[in-house]
Structure formats: structure tokens, C-alpha cells
Structure 1
Amino acid sequence: MHAGWREYLKQRLKTPSKFYSVGLEFGEDSIQVSVLTDELQNITWVKQQLLPIHDWQKHLRNYVSQESLTNTPCHVVLSPSHYQIQQLEKPQVSDSELAQALVWSVKDLMPNQEDIVVDYFELPVQSAGENKVNVVALPENTFEELTDGIMHTGLDLKSISILELIMADLVESDDDAILTLVQESCQEMCLNIIKGGQVYFSRRLRGYENLPTFSEEELQMGVGDNLSVEIQRSMDYFESQLRQAPVKKILLAIESPHLEKLAQMMQQLTFMTVEPMHIDVKHAEELTYRSSFIGSLGAAFVQKNGSANEN
């Protein structure tokens, strides 16, 4: 009883944060931090910081203290290197038993047999006769380290999501389908087709991990052609198997110095509108948007959109 009272008092005595939200993206070798404020419903991007992944709890705790971010709502997005995602047949069990049933289903597909935690999301439409779920899995000790570490920094952890789902919060797709290509540094490319704020199709593209380092000449030596073929295959599946109207636009979030050139090449090859993806947000004068910020900014905007896809 006494412990319960202490926890209640601790919550009551929390000092409200002057900031609106903190978005954290856990990448391969760093953590991206984006901070938003909200004055009279005018959301502004005010801080951006890159922290090393090694001993990240100490670095993040120091940053939170230094910038007076204690008690700020915090939303986390994991880059693809931190989790496995599999599409599996939905077990024939009750909803209350589904998560546990999926643990056993996906554990056999993991590279080792350590304990895991899973969550899942269902796609709005599926091919005829299919009943599948997308299962997200990560090691249990990684999940505990993540949640405990963030809470010990003083941030108010609200949600944990993944890169594929964050895209749906950022793209204004309405009734028109939009295809997004997002790539973190030296990682697999995430292809999503989004419609009406939901992910309808998602896959990883392997073999493009070094694309951000390519010169214009290297991009023209078959890379654009191969990437366009992969995009066309995905759009064909979306139209023919899922029976959806054609994709209207392609958005690129790739940290390449030649992104505009890559967009032009792909537009010529796909005969579609292809543009670099950009988050239109009011920001502090010293901040400049880059594709590599999209994960942490997307996470920070979860507070505005009121969604927590993964937790």
C-alpha cells in the first residue's frame, strides 16, 4: 500500500513539460532526437540532436537534463536493424491469445532462440483467400533495456513504433495511394504503399544498402532501372492482387546528395510523379530538414496524430 501511495504522489508532483513531444529514432549507430513545442496549436520543431548509440542511456539522460525535457511525452521509432518483421498466417485463436500464439509462430523464424516480444498489425485488404498478420519481433532483453532506459532519463514514454508504420502518420494520402521509399543509413530500403492513412503493402528491398553513397554516374549504371522494376512489381501486386486503384505518387526519403537526380531518373522510368519526401513543419531558424530526420520527426508527430501503432 505504501509503495502505491508513493507512486501516486510521484505522478501528482510531476512538473509539466513546456515541450509538446520528443521523438526518438534508434538507428544502427546513433539516436536521432527531435523536439516539438505547441503554442496555441502551432506546432514547431525546435530541437534536433544526434546522440551516440554506445552508452545511450547516459547520453540521453544528460541531454534531457540539459534541455529541460523532463516529463515530456516521448514516442520512439525503431529503424529496421532493431527488429524482425514477418507476414504469417493468423492463428485460429481468440484475440486475447493471439499475441502469445504469434510468439511461438515467429520464434522459429528468428536467427537465435532468445526470448522475444511481439506485436502485430493487420493490413486493410488482402489477396483472396488469405488471412495474414504482419508480426514485429525483437529480443525481450532489448525491449526491456529500451523501455527502462528511456523512463530512467525522465522522459514520459508513450509509444514504440516501427519505421514502416510511422510513414502512415506522415503521408497525407486520402483516397489516393502513395508509394514511399525510405532508407536509413546503410540499411535495407523500406517500401510502403499508403492509402487513407493506413499501410496497405510493405516490403524490404535488399541490395541497395550503399545507394546513399553512389555518385550520379553510379546511379545511372543500372541502379535506377533495377529499383524501378522493384517498384513496378509492388504496384502491380497492389493493383492486381489487392484490387486497388493505381498508385498516384512516389515519395523518396533517402539520404543521398543526388536525391533530386534519383527522383528525376525514376520519374522517367516509371512514368509517375516522383518527389523527395518532405515534412512541412514550422521550425526554428537554425534547423534544416533532411531525409535522415524523418524517423524522429515522425515519432514526435505521433503525439499530434494520437496514434501509437506499436507498444
Structure 2
Amino acid sequence: MKLFRAKSRQYEMIGVEFTDEGVALAHIERVAGQPPRLVHAEFIPCEAGVAVARLREKLSSLNLKARQVTVLMPREGYQLLLGEAPKVPAEQRNEALRWKVKDLVSFPVADAVIDSFLLNESCSRGGVPMAYVTVAPRKDVAQVVADVKDAGLEMVAIDIPELALARLVDNSMDTTRPVALVHLVAGGGTLVMVKSGELYLARNFKLDYNGGLLDDIPTEPLMLELQRSLDYFERQLRQAPASQILLCGENVSADKISEDLQAGMGGRIGLLDLIAVVSKSPDIEEHVQSLCMRALGAALREEAVS
């Protein structure tokens, strides 16, 4: 599945992510021949029950009602599974996968929304292609659709955080050689591997990191999680080692990358450079950006724009 490239025209896109702590919002403008511009980014702290109303109020104050939006599925609202793709025509793959994963999900698969994409053929096992499949309860997808409508936006796509993060990498650098992006939040993180503009690996993990301004990144546990992911990428998917390992997320800064972490990762580790992804308004604070990374990745999606 190609991560989405620039089109030769001007348009806007909003990315939205609902979390347990609030709503992340990113507003992108694109003009042909120029890098995308992050016009506004904001995290609105609030309880889940009032999130839609707070988002609607904010959009109204910014004069952004009725704009197109890519919204992210809440992390607890879907499962992302990796396995062998069934040998059926492409138009039948999702339905075939529905029954292939029925024992791997925690809800009735008959009432699930299924989507999938194939990994690059270099990841095949014994000639059998591998596929990622996203499985979500239909009621949860319907709730996301209703929330977007209630907020006064025009939904063009529902995305998942893993693809949003991979899009940040693909928009910021050459991925001819594999690049890993690690997004850290309080309690855990997500690692994605991108090569030649395609998502090859996505993995979520737990980590004793509180996400505060003064909280250190636990070096040894993070190195263990990184090594597990990189070993799987190299040995099971038979890919070359990552050329770079980029960090981003809640209050992730250069001073939190310890010498031990650098040494343990062979000097390949650094921060995601947001300036390489977008130009941005000067009034957007670094802390706010760190809370809106996945929303920004959603706003960079272009395939669904008409």
C-alpha cells in the first residue's frame, strides 16, 4: 500500500484523533509545488463525553466548519493483524480475511468492518504474500462517523494511527533504505518500519514512560522493544537493517536520547524533524506538536481527497 503522495493542486485537510485525554487537531494546507503547511495544531484536553462538542466549538472559532477531515480510529477501537493473505482475487480478499481472523479478535467477526493491504512481495513466506488486516466492530466505526458529522466536518477517510505515523516518515525523507519511526506516549509506543514509501511493519508496545516534560525515556526497556522489532523485520521479513531510527511523541526531545541508547542502537537514533515534514505557523508550540503527531499524519493523507 503506497503512502500517499502530493497532488498538483491546492486544498486543505484536517486530521482529528480522539483520545481518552482529549482531541488532537491538525489543519494542513497544500499548494502545488510547495511543502504542505501546518496552519494550526491543537490538543483540546477534555473528557470523552464532551469531546465532540469541544471540537465543534473549536472548529467554529477557527472558521473551519465543513472542512474535509481524515479521522483516526481510537487505538482501542480496532485490531491490526499480520498474516498470510488468502489466495483469492483482490476484490474478495477482505471477505476471505474476515473468516481467517475470526479466532484472533475479541468480538464477533460477522459484525466487523474489515480492511487490508498487502505487504511488499519481498516479505512473502514461501511464495505466499503477507497482509495486514484491520478489524473493527461496526458499531465503533459507526460512532466515529457520527462523531465527525456532529462536529460539523466532511469525512473523507477513516485511518489508523500506524499508517498516519508511516506517512510522516514518507513525507519527510528518502525511504529507499528502511527507516523506523518510534512514537512514544504515556505508557507505551508504536514502531513503524517504512521502506520505499510502503509500510512493512507496525508494532505497539508497553513502556514505563509517563510522557511528562521531565520524564526520562527508560533506555534499557526501549532498546529491548526496538531490538525485538528490528530482529523481526530483518529475520522474519528478510529485510535490510534500518538505516535510521527516529523518535517522536509526548515531550520526546533530543536531551532524552541518552548516550547508552545511541550506543545500543549503533548511532542510528535521532528525532523526527517536523520541519522536514511540513512548514508551520510560528505560533505552534513544540509541546502541542508532540501531542498532535498522529493527527498530523492523518491530515497528510491525500488518496481520499476528491
CA positional deviation for 1:254: 2.9
Q: How many residues align?
A: 282
1:256 & 1:61 partners in 2: Cα distance? 27
CA distance in 1, matches of 2:27, 2:96: 37
SS at the partner of 1:68?
coil
Counterpart selection for 1:273 from 240, 264, 268: 268
The alpha-carbon distance between structure 1 residues 61 and 212, as it changes in their structure 2 partners (threshold 3 A), is closer
- The match for 2:25 among 22, 33, 37 is 33
- 1:249 positional shift: 0.7
CA contact (8 A) 2:185 2:209 kept: no
CA RMSD of aligned residues (A): 2.7
Write the letter of the residue equivalent to 2:38.
W
Q: Give the structure 1 partner of residue 181 of structure 2.
A: 180
Q: Which residue of 138, 147, 156 corresponds with 1:140?
A: 138
Deviation at 1:38, TM superposition (A): 4.1
User: Aligned equivalents of 1:198 and 1:108: distance in 2?
Assistant: 28
Q: Which amino acid aligns with 1:269?
A: G
The answer on 1:253 being equivalent to 2:248 is: yes
Please tell me whether residue 288 in structure 1 is matched to residue 288 in structure 2. no
Whole-Å Cα distance in 2 between the matches of residues 213 and 286 of structure 1? 21
Q: Percent identity?
A: 26
CA distance in structure 1 between the partners assigned to 2:255 and 2:39 by the alignment: 26
Please name the residue that 2:199 is paired with: 199
The answer for unaligned runs of 5 or more in structure 1 is: 1-17
2:112 to 108, 113, 116: 116
Give the 4+ runs in structure 1 shifted more than 6 A: none
What is residue 10 of structure 1 aligned with on the other side? Answer: none
Deviation of 1:61 after TM superposition, in Å, equals: 2.5
1:204-243 Cα deviation digits (max 9, x unpaired): 223x153535966x75xxx412322332233233333433
Residues 1-150 of structure 1 aligned to structure 2 (within 5 Å): 20-38=12-30, 42=34, 43-51=36-44, 52=46, 53-113=48-108, 115-124=111-120, 125-129=122-126, 130-150=128-148
Q: Which structure has the greater CA radius of gyration?
A: 1
- Equivalent residue, structure 1, for 2:161: 163
Structure 2, unpaired ranges of 5+: 1-9
**Preserved contact between residue 253 and residue 292 of structure 1 (Cα < 8 Å):** no
| Alpha-carbon distance in 1 for matches of 2:86, 2:31 | 46
Aligned in 2, Cα 1:296/1:214: closer, same or farther, shift over 3 Å?
Answer: closer
Shift of 1:19: 7.0
In the superposition, the TM-score normalised over structure 1's length comes to: 0.79
- Give the secondary-structure state (helix, strand or coil) at the position aligned to 2:101: helix
Rounded to whole Å, the distance in 1 between the matches of 2:190 and 2:98 is: 24
> How many angstroms does 1:150 deviate by?
1.0
Q: CA deviation at 1:156?
A: 2.0
Deviation at 1:119, TM superposition (A): 0.9
Contact 1:19–1:35 (CA under 8 A) maintained in structure 2: no
* Residues 65, 153 of structure 2: 8 Å contact kept: yes
CA distance 1:185–1:301, change in 2 (3 Å): same
The alpha-carbon deviation at position 127 of structure 1 amounts to: 4.8
Is 2:73–2:144's contact at 8 Å kept on the other side of the alignment? no
**In 1, Cα distance between equivalents of 2:258 and 2:293:** 18
